[in-house]
Structure 1
Amino acid sequence: MTTSPDHAVAQFTDQGYVLLKQAVPDSIISTLDAAVRKLTDDRGPDLTHSSFNTNPALTHVRDAANVIAEYQLLFECADLMSVPHRILGGSLQVLGTEVLRREVYQQAHERWHRDSGPYLERPYDERNGPLHLKAQVFFTDTRQKESGNLVLIPGSHRWPANHRDDAYWTTANNALAHAVLPEGAVSIHAEPGDAVVFGNTMWHAVLPNRTQERRSAILRFGQAWLRPYDHLGDPAAAADHLSPYSRQLLGYHPAEVNPVDLYKDPTSTESWCAR
């Protein structure tokens, strides 16, 4: 990773996002990408979760760690995992695992939005950190223009929910089809193995893809106490291929665990930087 964890956290605090170069080794990218392509080639668009995005050029697999055995290889990538671990103050859990295949599509793949709904769209709290984070890991090269690039507005993680009126976003969304961005926005041009980490309050979108299919993984992170302690993950629902460590990270705990412990010390006391 070309960015140290300390520098990454500082950039996240200031800008609301950080691009991690070479966060995932080529061998893991190749292995996971092959598994994703095999699954989605064999099963087709029935994997797409329509409530998330009705984009016809998107195949979207949710709960990917339970569906794709190779997905948990990402959890062992210290250069990737150390940054959300530090940003969240060591209290880390994985709230969601996804993979995306974005086909060539002349329209914007995703309009400008924030994640997680209005009740979590509060301005960034520098003292306590964010509630939710998202890391997008790229399998394909998006350095070329019009590659379905992820676009962000640095600093928008501090905007209140009503920072701009509807007319602003209508204009911004109409411009996306022409790859025109609002003032101050940035387009991410990533190589395979790069990852972008940003918070749920960051305004972001995805530009049209006019070059090649783009594949990526998304990991959604949250502080450990966010999981309601009377609704622990049922270990029986976890896939057999998941390691004990992956089960803990994903929120599967044995029945005898004391749920209140999740509100005290981090569920994972091992430093990601030392892995």
Structure 2
Amino acid sequence: MTSSPDDAVAQFTAQGFVLLKRVVPDRVVSMLDTAVRRLTDDRGPDLTHSSFNTNPALIHVRDAANTIAEYHLLFECGALMSVPHRILNGSLQVLGTEVLRRGIYQEAHEPWHRDSGSYLERPYDELNGPLHLKAQVFFTDTRPKDSGNLVLIPGSHRWPADHKDDAYWKTANNALARGALPEGALSIHGAPGDAVVFGNTMWHAVLPNRTQERRSAIIRFGQAWLRPYDHPCDPATAAGHLSAESRRLLGYHSNTVNPVDLYKDPTSTESWSAR
């Protein structure tokens, strides 16, 4: 838990993650949670992305900012957005927006893994920051044990990219269903409105959920230069509820934009940390 963006960056640098308390107001949590439940009650499993369809207890919605009108309210939460902005040294864009609805499930919801594939799994670069990180915002209370808790291994963001001992991870994954964790691993217990921010090179998993349904949002952030140079998105294709600032964060730019401009200040002239 941290008290300022500076503290958050210091913890992220040392441990690879930071738990932010009450960075999303109750009103926003309630609005988003209601919208998520309404959407997923109506459409159910057909919203689950094919790469996540092996877990029958998960409904996973991608492109949530364009699908759920209330999602962009997360971008207006300065206490949340200032942290990835600082960690990425101001070179901030949103790579993906998702919501998760995890039901009761006796097995581990997700095995130990890193995100984004081998090309982004470089060791943490303290000078330039990570290439990719994400924030998970909790809508339901995950403070009780067996709440489908996210688990992390602090410091693993500095492990080499080839740290993939198959025997080690097989043993670790077999233990997940029992709630057992490797030495040094940490279980995250967040209240509604809390968020955990961690980098793509952090080893993480999700424990069994035996208490109540868990709902949350994920925002995937990346350095601005990860945006494809030749493929700016036409803002005409963005959902009408998105603000101009949200469109910039999500990479929507006019087809006439100079591609070099995408590498300068793609998010805002106003610093998130000044909010």
**TM-score scaled to structure 1, two decimals?**
0.97
CA separation in 1, counterparts of 2:37 and 2:267?
Answer: 33
Name the residue aligned to 2:28: 28
Name the residue aligned to 2:55: 55
RMSD: 1.2
Residue 240 of structure 2 corresponds to residue 246 of structure 1? no
Structure 1: gaps (5+ residues)? none
Paired amino acid for 1:175: A
CA separation in 2, counterparts of 1:2 and 1:131?
Answer: 22
CA separation in 1, counterparts of 2:268 and 2:218?
Answer: 21
Residue 44 of structure 2 corresponds to residue 44 of structure 1? yes
Name the residue aligned to 1:100: 100
What is the 5 A alignment of 1:55-134?
55-134=55-134
CA separation in 2, counterparts of 1:208 and 1:131?
Answer: 29
Q: CA deviation at 1:164?
A: 4.2
1:34-92 CA distances to partner (integer Å, 9 max, x unpaired)? 00000000111100002135211000000000000000000000000000000001111
Does the 8 Å contact 1:90/1:269 carry over to 2? no
Q: CA deviation at 1:127?
A: 0.9
Does the 8 Å contact 1:91/1:268 carry over to 2? no
Structure 2: gaps (5+ residues)? none
**TM-score scaled to structure 2, two decimals?**
0.97
Paired amino acid for 1:43: R
Name the residue aligned to 1:182: 182
Paired amino acid for 2:69: A
Give 4+ residue runs of structure 1 displaced > 4 Å after superposition.
none
Deviates more, 1:145-154 or 1:263-272: 263-272
Aligned length: 275
Q: CA deviation at 1:266?
A: 4.8
CA separation in 2, counterparts of 1:160 and 1:218?
Answer: 25
The change in CA–CA distance for 1:123 and 1:53 in structure 2 (over 3 A counts) is: farther
Calculate percent identity across the aligned residue pairs: 83
What is the 5 A alignment of 1:227-266?
227-266=227-266
The change in CA–CA distance for 1:266 and 1:243 in structure 2 (over 3 A counts) is: closer
The change in CA–CA distance for 1:231 and 1:104 in structure 2 (over 3 A counts) is: same
Does the 8 Å contact 1:2/1:22 carry over to 2? no
CA separation in 2, counterparts of 1:244 and 1:268?
Answer: 10
Name the residue aligned to 1:206: 206
CA separation in 2, counterparts of 1:118 and 1:226?
Answer: 15
CA separation in 2, counterparts of 1:121 and 1:240?
Answer: 35
1:153-202 CA distances to partner (integer Å, 9 max, x unpaired)? 00000001222410000000000000000000000011000000000000
Q: CA deviation at 1:265?
A: 3.8
CA separation in 2, counterparts of 1:19 and 1:2?
Answer: 7
Does the 8 Å contact 2:18/2:198 carry over to 1? yes
The change in CA–CA distance for 1:162 and 1:180 in structure 2 (over 3 A counts) is: same
1:131-171 CA distances to partner (integer Å, 9 max, x unpaired)? 00100000000110000000000000000122241000000
1:101-155 CA distances to partner (integer Å, 9 max, x unpaired)? 0000000000000000011111101111100010000000011000000000000
